[in-house]
């Protein structure tokens, strides 16, 4: 392999690798909701720490 | 099917011993050959280096190696940002990091309104179980109730209001939607505003609807259920004048006769029915009821019968009347109503087993007043009236419960009322239709043409969680809160009111349906607030419910106490059962032509009437009888299949009254000849990526003019269509090793059964089969302290599969999809093995939950090259996920076939990464590792619960006890068939089962020393021998 062809191959390979890394393959997939969801507790609800207990 | 017999020269002489499927019964070569391979065809790729890499040059090899290294380097250098973990700046008072909180609430998955306890971690609901204190379901909850948590986090929930445009839907804000709808409702004038909804079991919601009617007087409410007990209730009113069909003391019945009644499967509150039924299947008290099932389709109730006979549903009336006549002739009852019927003629004509019928008659006589005859929801009113009369004459009214009665807040609309609604729409008499979280376009008979009729309504509003067939044809789609984000109450029987509270604030821009109606009632969109319905609910309780309770405590104290408990007991008396009106029976309806084929449409065990079709866990839950996942099918009997010359998976065209559907056939042992059974709930459209296109929409076979009942159609036809369709059945998956003997399960005592008579005579008859203690090459480990074990009582196990879903939710088990189930790759850690024995016409059915047996001398541990599976000092067979390299040797060496391998990252693989969405990750149990590709997994005996109990015991400074831990499957089991505890804890209830005389281990002769004990099933039949 001559010098010119070697550098051409090497640079093409580097470009391919770089491209491979950044190709957004996930675009082919369906994009389900990725929005940030805020988890909040409803302050009016009554929680407990135990499974079996009764108040009233 | 007939091919198997001919090929194997078996003709009509099937082996009477245990068999799992027709393929096994008739020794299908392909199926038996597949048993010899650990993995199904195509699951593992063959790689032959001589073929694939032959002639490769040194240079090419190095180039490939270099390229592979480069690509691997790139692939591995990707850092996926998983977000940041930030501690609370201000920690909510009720949250302790790492500790769960529980909220008592009410399940709305079906109209039964069971009490639930929702477990949350750091504000995220992660598990639902029954509320142990709730008087109805007593700590148990069905598969749908448990899987409902997936619906909360479903990424396909509608997240904001939508308005229809010419091409689809536009996002709009709530204010605009409310203004438009209020304006439309205000202009209704004398035209009707139709509200279509499912069963209303909330007294406060009913009040909202009354307020709505006051504001908009032309409102009419149509409440409907695709499957309901309207025939039973209307029959009751005709028989007794008032009230509803009462609750039944299943636990006190000595003889139960179920006529096409699946009371253990889909009818009534099956959780309560199952518990009460199983109370009388107790080996400790030696108390056993006897269950006769006379039915057309093999049901969950049918597979648990002591005696089962199959007849077409049209014959049930004549059967009941013939029984009545026979009992009259024997002087047990006195009536002339059934004089035109003869039991002997009926038995002769319909080829019933005379011996079984005689046993039934003798039992009804012997247990007069202690037996109950129960007709199924799908049978017409006249059969229910005949059953009411027979129960009354036999004195079986004793078994109607007098502690509580069912309550109907609002009657379901009859089919005539629904037709009237469609007629009004057609005539332009309707100003607006509001669908409250229901899907009538899918549910109503297609000949009503409801879908196209909606185009004639000026404004159609659908309040729904997710897109569906009805929403597609609506002008406005308003997203509603999930059950776990909502306030509410429920009352469907006397003496108890349940409360529903939100365990999380709405995840999306959704509102509670009651709050939406209240906003419209106020005529001002600004009225809405987050607490609008909470305030209304609380006020309704304070002004209407609290005074009637005559409580001595203050309202606020009662309110918060009731919220904490999830329910409130009240002093209400049950309805009185009066005198029966014998003239309510219409004998003219007796003669029914039973020629041709009968079509029976039933509710799906997995997805209900279709409202759970988007739930992957339920779609993948094997059918309790057929073990089929992800589909519905036409179930026909073995003889009907033979006459039609069809096999499993053949496509057939089912036609009735001009309505047609092509779907695959499944040969179901035990089905009545000349009947087709199809489960509804499938074939959904516009319903998201999980539900759409799964199964076949058999609702199109429903008619608005049924001739027998809404769910049974005579004179149907079935013809073979071109092509095949693969049904994904788990029945032949993970079979034990098969030395090509048909009675493997009998010979190796995998299933051990006996009769109650034999047990009474010889209590230790099971022990005869047990192998002698064998020496081991390994030095046994001495478990001097804790040693965990499980016992499963096969007398109580009904095979419902609720435990499977509970395990899935607790242990973050992924959904894999139909394509993977077809390759035996389902990931469920717990499976229910189902065996038939006897003939395909009258099979005896045995079920056996099978999970990791946590063997003391586990064969999987010896073969793991990386020691990824090890044994704990307390007897657990453990998996170290990050050590596993996926050789699958352990799975190969496991005699019980209970290990599951992640062939993919199934979360990514299933439905375009549906389970990878950030919303669904909120559902994960943080105490259980989420496994990825290449890792083996299996039942852990819920080790996270054991560790939690150990930690709690250490905190209290006391030793851990066996009763401190409940596994997820144990907690879910409606019949308490599963017991878990310390094998060395000799004082425990579990120890009684562990050492029970009916206890045995599966494949005990292998000397792997399993820690799961099975209690042999006893059949309550009249002979000692099975």
- SS3 assignment for B988-1013: CHHHHHHCCCCEECCCHHHCCCCCEE
Task: Tell me, rounded to whole angstroms, the distance of Cα B172 from its chain centroid.
Answer: 37
The span from the first CA to the last CA of chain B, in angstroms, equals 28
Range(s) within chain B of domains with CATH label 3.40.50.740 = 162-228+412-569
- Secondary element (H or E) of residue B540: helix B532-540
Q: In angstroms, rounded to a whole number, what is the distance separating the alpha carbons of residues B21 and B32?
A: 11
Residue of B nearest to A39 (CA): B123
Alpha carbon B292 to its chain's center: 23
Domain boundaries, chain A: 1-45
* B624 neighbors B265 (Cβ within 8 angstroms): yes
- What are the φ/ψ torsions at residue B771 (nearest 5 degrees)? -70, 155
As a whole-number percent, the residues of chain B with pLDDT over 70 amount to 94
Chain B nearest-CA distance from A48, in A, is 5
Residues of B in contact with A36 (CB under 8 A): 918
Q: Do B501 and A44 touch (CB under 8 A)?
A: yes
Q: Determine how many CB atoms are found less than 10 A away from the CB of residue B597.
A: 22
Cβ separation of A52 and B133 shorter than 8 Å? Answer: yes
Q: Which of B79, B85, B90, B103 to mutate to test the interface with A (most CBs of A within 10 A)?
A: B103
Specify whether the CB–CB gap between B518 and B536 falls below 8 A: yes
Is B155 part of the contact surface with chain A (CB cutoff 8 Å)?
yes
Taking the CA of residue A8 and the nearest CA in chain B, the distance in Å comes to: 16
Q: Is the pLDDT of residue A26 over 80?
A: no
Judged by CB atoms closer than 8 Å, whether chains meet at B563 and A53 is answered as no
Q: Is the dihedral of CA B904, B910, B914, B915 positive or negative?
A: negative
* CATH number at B597-729: 2.40.40.20
Strand partners, B190: none
Among A32, A34, A37, the residue with its CB nearest the CB of B507 is A37
Looking at chain B, which residues constitute the CATH 3.40.228.10 domain(s)?
A: 230-399
Residues of chain B with pLDDT under 50: 1-5, 7-16
Asked if the Cβ–Cβ distance from B132 to A51 is below 8 Å, we say yes
In B, residues 918-947, which contact A (CB 8 Å cutoff)?
918-919, 922
Q: Would you call A47 an interface residue with chain B, using a CB distance cutoff of 8 Å? A: yes
Work out whether strand B831-837 and strand B869-871 pair parallel, antiparallel, or are unpaired.
Answer: unpaired
State how far residue B131 is from chain A, nearest Cα, in angstroms. Answer: 8
> Other C-beta atoms within 10 Å of A43: how many?
10
Option in B139, B913, B918 nearest A29 (CB) = B913
Residues B222 and B196: beta-carbon distance below 8 Å: yes
Query: Which of A33, A34, A38, A40 to mutate against chain B (most B CBs within 10 Å)?
Result: A33
Hey, how many other C-beta atoms are within 10 angstroms of the C-beta on B1006?
A: 17
H or E stretch including B546?
Answer: helix B546-549
Report the chain A residue with the minimal C-alpha distance to residue B509.
A37
A5 interface with B at CB cutoff 8 Å: no
CA dist B244 and B561 (Å) reads 31
Predicted pLDDT at B739: 52
B860, B899 Cβ separation under 8 angstroms: yes
Considering the four listed CATH numbers 3.30.70.600, 3.90.228.20, 3.40.50.720, 3.40.228.10, the one that applies to the domain covering B230-399 is 3.40.228.10
Topology, domain B787-1019:
Alpha-Beta Plaits (3.30.70)
Contact B730, B996 (CB under 8 A): no
Contact B561/A at CB under 8 A: yes
Of the candidates A32, A40, A53, the beta carbon closest to that of B914 is on: A32
* Nearest Cα to Cα of residue B315 among B594, B597, B636, B677: B594
**Residue B987: what pLDDT?**
86
User: CA–CA separation, B712 vs B80, rounded Å?
Assistant: 55
CATH number of B162-228+412-569: 3.40.50.740
Residue to test with chain A: of B96, B546, B914, B917, most A Cβ within 10 A? B917
The CA distance from B612 to B609, in Å, is: 8
Any B CB within 8 A of A33 CB: yes
pLDDT of residue B8: 45
Contact yes or no for B200/B206 (Cβ under 8 A): yes
Are B13 and B19 in contact by the 8 Å Cβ rule? The answer is: no
- Of B746, B744, B741, B730, residue with least CA distance to B833: B730
CA A49 to chain B, closest CA, distance in angstroms equals 5
pLDDT reported for residue B894: 93
Report the residue from A21, A39, A52 with minimal CB separation from B504. A39
A and B: number of Cβ contacts within 8 A: 116
pLDDT at position B220: 96
Question: For residue A27, what pLDDT is reported?
Answer: 67
pLDDT attached to residue B10: 46
- Give the residue from B677, B43, B722 showing the smallest Cα distance to B310: B677
H or E segment at B251?
none
List the end-to-end C-alpha distance of chain A, in Å, as a whole number: 88
**Interface mutation target, options A45, A48, A50, chain B, most CBs of B under 10 Å:** A45
Query: b/e string for B185-215 if b means 16 or more Cβ within 10 A?
Result: beebeebbbbbbbbbbbbbbbbbbbeebbeb
User: Please, which residues 965-1004 of chain B have a Cβ atom closer than 8 Å to chain A?
Assistant: none
């Amino acid at each position: 392999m001559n010098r010119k062809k070697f550098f051409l191959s090497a640079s093409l390979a580097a470009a391919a690798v770089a491209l491979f890394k950044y190709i957004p393959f996930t675009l082919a997939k369906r994009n389900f909701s990725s929005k940030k969801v805020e988890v909040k507790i409803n302050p009016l609800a009554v929680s407990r720490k135990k499974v079996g207990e009764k108040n009233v | 099917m007939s091919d198997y017999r001919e090929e194997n020269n078996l003709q009509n002489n099937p082996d009477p011993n245990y068999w799992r499927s027709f393929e096994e019964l008739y020794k299908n070569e392909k199926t038996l050959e597949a048993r010899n391979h650990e993995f199904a065809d195509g699951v593992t790729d063959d790689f032959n280096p001589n073929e694939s890499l032959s002639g490769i040059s040194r240079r090419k090899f190095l180039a490939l190696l270099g390229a592979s290294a480069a690509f691997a380097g790139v692939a591995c250098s990707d850092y996926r940002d998983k977000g940041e973990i930030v501690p609370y700046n201000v920690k909510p008072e009720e949250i302790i990091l790492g500790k769960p909180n529980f909220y008592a609430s009410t399940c709305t998955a079906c109209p039964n309104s069971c009490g639930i306890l929702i477990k949350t971690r750091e504000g995220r609901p992660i598990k639902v179980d029954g509320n142990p204190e709730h008087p109805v379901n007593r700590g148990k909850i069905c598969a749908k109730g448990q899987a409902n948590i997936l619906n909360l986090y479903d990424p396909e929930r509608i997240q904001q209001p939508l308005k229809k445009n010419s091409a689809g839907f536009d996002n709009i804000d709530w204010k605009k939607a409310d203004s438009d709808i209020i304006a439309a409702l205000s202009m209704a004038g004398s035209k009707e505003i139709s509200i279509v909804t499912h069963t209303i079991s909330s007294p406060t919601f009913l009040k909202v609807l009354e307020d709505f009617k006051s504001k908009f007087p032309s409102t009419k409410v149509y409440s409907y259920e695709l499957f309901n007990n309207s025939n039973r209730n209307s029959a009751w009113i005709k028989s007794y004048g008032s009230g509803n069909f009462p609750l039944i003391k299943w636990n006190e019945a000595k003889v139960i006769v179920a006529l096409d009644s699946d009371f253990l499967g889909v009818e009534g509150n099956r959780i309560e029915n199952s518990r009460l039924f199983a109370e009388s299947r107790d080996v400790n008290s030696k108390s056993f009821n006897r269950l006769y099932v006379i039915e057309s389709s093999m049901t969950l109730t049918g597979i648990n019968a002591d005696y089962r006979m199959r007849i077409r549903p049209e014959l049930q009336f004549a059967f009941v009347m013939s029984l009545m006549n026979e009992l009259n002739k024997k002087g047990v009852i006195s009536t002339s109503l059934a004089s035109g019927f003869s039991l002997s003629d009926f038995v002769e004509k319909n080829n019933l087993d005379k011996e079984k019928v005689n046993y039934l008659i003798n039992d009804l006589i012997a247990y007069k007043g202690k037996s109950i005859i129960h007709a199924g929801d799908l049978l017409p009113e006249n059969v229910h009236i005949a059953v009411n009369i027979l129960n009354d004459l036999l004195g079986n009214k004793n078994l109607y419960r007098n502690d509580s009665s069912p309550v109907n807040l609002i009657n379901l609309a009859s089919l005539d009322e629904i037709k009237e609604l469609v007629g009004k729409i057609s005539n332009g008499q309707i100003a607006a239709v509001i669908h409250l979280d229901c899907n009538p376009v899918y549910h109503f008979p297609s000949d009503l043409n409801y879908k196209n009729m909606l185009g004639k309504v000026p404004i159609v509003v659908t309040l729904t969680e997710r897109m569906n067939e009805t929403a597609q044809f609506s002008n406005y789609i308003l997203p509603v809160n999930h059950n776990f984000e909502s306030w509410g109450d429920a009352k469907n029987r006397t003496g108890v009111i349940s409360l529903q509270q939100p365990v999380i604030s709405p995840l999306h821009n959704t509102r509670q349906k009651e709050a939406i109606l209240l906003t419209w009632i106020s005529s001002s969109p600004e009225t809405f607030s987050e607490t609008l319905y909470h305030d209304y609910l609380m006020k309704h309780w304070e002004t209407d419910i609290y005074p009637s309770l005559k409580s001595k405590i203050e309202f606020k104290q009662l309110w918060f106490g009731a919220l904490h408990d999830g329910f409130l007991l009240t002093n209400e008396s049950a309805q009185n059962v009066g005198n029966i009106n014998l003239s309510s029976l219409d004998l003219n309806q007796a003669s029914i032509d039973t020629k041709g084929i009968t079509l029976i449409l039933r509710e799906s065990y997995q997805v209900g009437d279709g409202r759970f079709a988007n739930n992957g866990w339920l779609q993948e839950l094997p059918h309790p009888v057929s073990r089929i996942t992800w589909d519905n099918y036409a179930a026909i009997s073995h003889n009907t299949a033979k006459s039609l010359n069809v096999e499993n998976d053949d496509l057939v065209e089912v036609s009735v009254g001009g309505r047609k559907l092509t779907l695959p056939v499944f040969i179901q042992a035990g089905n009545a000849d000349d009947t087709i059974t199809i489960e509804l709930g499938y074939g959904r459209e516009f319903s998201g990526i999980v539900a759409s296109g799964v199964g076949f929409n058999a609702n199109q076979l429903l008619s608005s003019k049924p001739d027998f009942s809404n769910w049974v159609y005579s004179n149907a036809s079935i013809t073979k269509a071109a092509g095949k369709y693969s049904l994904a059945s788990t029945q032949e998956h993970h079979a034990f090793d098969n030395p090509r003997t048909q009675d493997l399960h009998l010979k190796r005592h995998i299933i051990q059964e006996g009769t109650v008579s034999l047990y009474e005579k010889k209590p230790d008859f099971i022990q005869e089969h047990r192998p002698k203690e064998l020496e081991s090459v390994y030095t046994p480990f001495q478990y001097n302290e804790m040693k965990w074990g499980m016992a499963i009582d096969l007398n109580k196990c009904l095979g419902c599969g609720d435990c499977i879903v509970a395990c899935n939710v607790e242990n973050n088990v992924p959904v894999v999809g139909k394509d993977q189930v077809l390759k035996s790759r389902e990931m469920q850690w717990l499976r229910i093995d189902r065996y038939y024995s006897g003939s395909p016409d009258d099979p005896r059915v045995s079920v056996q939950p099978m999970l990791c047996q946590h063997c003391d001398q586990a064969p999987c541990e010896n073969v793991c090259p990386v020691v990824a599976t090890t044994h704990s000092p307390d007897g657990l067979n453990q998996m170290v996920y990050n050590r596993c390299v996926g050789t699958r040797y352990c799975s190969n060496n496991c005699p019980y076939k209970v290990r599951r391998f992640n062939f993919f990252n199934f979360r990514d693989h299933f439905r375009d990464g549906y389970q990878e969405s950030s919303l669904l990750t909120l559902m994960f149990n943080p105490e259980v590792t989420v496994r990825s590709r290449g890792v083996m997994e299996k039942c852990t005996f819920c080790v996270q619960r054991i560790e939690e109990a150990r930690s709690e015991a250490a905190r209290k400074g006391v030793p851990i006890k066996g009763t401190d831990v409940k596994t997820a499957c144990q907690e879910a089991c409606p019949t308490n068939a599963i017991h878990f505890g310390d094998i060395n804890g000799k004082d425990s209830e579990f120890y009684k089962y562990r050492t029970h005389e009916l206890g045995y281990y599966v494949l005990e002769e292998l000397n792997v020393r399993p820690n799961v004990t099975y209690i042999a099933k006893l059949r309550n039949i009249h002979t000692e021998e099975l």
